[in-house]
Structures are given as structure tokens and as C-alpha cells.
Amino acid sequence: MRVVLIDYGAGNLPSVAKALAAAGVAVERSADPARAAAADALVLPGQGHFGQVMEAFRRSGFEDVVRAHVAADRPFLGICVGLQLLVEGSEEAPGVAGLGVLPGRVVRFPEAGVSVPHMGWNTLHPFGASPLLAGVADGAHAYFAHSYVVRFDAADAEAAAFDAGATTTYGPTRFLCAVSRGQLHATQFHPEKSQRVGLRILANFAAAARAAVGRPA
């Protein structure tokens, strides 16, 4: 199975590559959209300002590749801003469109009794039967580092928009921090910084991808 880590200049790329390897995932880091187009599974990391990251991603030539891959329901994992890029846009960069493959927009955390950015460990509360979160206990901790959060467009996002995922709460804000829809998976937290829980999640993604494409590691 070919897993490609998309290299469009994201700052957290080396740590994601190292964590995938530690989780037993044979991953190819590539800046070539043609290599990504031939992959069985794609991993899209992201870190930084939404507008700058989105513009770098578009200049890299990966946009059409990712759109086609997701539309075909092939295994995909977005991490942090890699999740945020999948929705329609962000308050952080008005006028810069996201990919729009998931329903929602990125908004800034309300500064009500909490410090922003949301940085450090927080609990995960899985729901549904996401293969990404198999074996991850309710209340397990993952590492977060973000000032903006996705507000998904659904009256009951957990039931209506996604097969499964996880929620967490920061201050007054309860939000989806992991989502799964078919073979598309994405996390707001950083699996590559989340120690054993993160390695379990990355290994789960690889196992689910292998099952989906019917190929060995």
C-alpha cells in the first residue's frame, strides 16, 4: 500500500512523517502531485495561518489531486489545518476559500474565561464506530494547538454529517475534534504530538486504509 504525505511546505511535516514511521506506517513524503495521485492513501498536514496555508497548498498543485481522491472515497487523513482546509473558509482569512468538501466554516474561539490559543492536552470523547479511533478510550488525551475551530453546518453534526468522530470541550466551546465520513478522516488535534494515543490513531488509519484498498502494508 502506498501512503503519501503531501509536501506543500507545511511546518509540521517532519514530525508527522516521523510519527507515521513510529506507528509502523511506510510513508512516502512527496511534493509531486502526480505521485500523490497514484497513492492509495493521502495524509494532509497543516500548521499556521489558514490563508497562507491554503495559498501554499493551491500553488503546490495538489488541490485537484486531493479533490479527486476524496470524491472517490479513497483513504485520506487531514491533520490540524489539514482539517480546516477541507471546509468552506475561515474567519482567519476572509475571502480565501477552502476546499469545501466538508460542510462548515472555521471560527475563532470565543475568549470567555480561557486563553487563546487552545494549547496543550485535552480529552477525546469518541462517538460512533470510527476505525480511526478504535481502541481509544473515552477521556483519552490528545495534544491541541489552535486558535480557530471548525463549526460544522449541521443541526446535529455528530449524527447528520459524519459516521463517527470525537468531541472535546475548551471553555464554553464543545466542538468536533475528529471526524470520519467514509474513508475521509480528519483531526483538529495533532496525532504526531499525542504520544501513544496519537500513534494508535495513525496505526488505525493505516489499518483502515489497507482494508479499504485490499493491499498489504
Domain that holds residue 190: 3-213
User: Average of pLDDT values for 85-100?
Assistant: 94
Predicted pLDDT of residue 130? 85
3-state secondary structure of 179: strand
Assign residue 90 the CATH number of its domain: 3.40.50.880
Query: Residues 69, 146, 185, 190: which is the catalytic one?
Result: 190
pLDDT of residue 60: 93
Q: Residues 153-172: pLDDT tens digits?
A: 654 444 445 768 999 999 98
pLDDT at 216: 60
- Residue-level pLDDT at 114: 86
Mean pLDDT of 85-101: 94
Q: Average pLDDT of 188-197?
A: 97
Q: CA dist 47 to 27, 81, 160, Å?
A: 20, 5, 28
> Which residue is catalytic, options 69, 80, 146, 185?
80
Quickly list H helices, the chain.
Answer: 13-22, 33-37, 50-60, 63-71, 81-84, 157-160, 195-213
- pLDDT, average across residues 130-155: 90
Residue 190 has pLDDT above 90, yes or no: yes
Q: Whole-structure pTM over 0.85, yes or no? A: yes
Indicate if 190 belongs to the active site: yes
Q: Which residue has the higher pLDDT, 41 or 128?
A: 41
CA 93 to CA 12: how far, in whole Å?
20
Task: Report d(CA 83, CA 149) in Å as an integer.
Answer: 10
By mean pLDDT, which of 62-71, 104-113, 141-150, 195-204 is the weakest?
Answer: 104-113
DSSP 193: G
Domain count across the chain: 1
Cα separation values, 74 from 13, 77, 110, Å: 21, 10, 35
pLDDT value of position 158: 47
pLDDT at 62: 94
Across all residues in the chain, what is the average pLDDT?
91
Portion of the chain with pLDDT greater than 90, in percent? 79
Q: What is the dihedral of CA 204, 140, 167, 118, to 10 degrees?
A: -110
7-26 average pLDDT score? 90
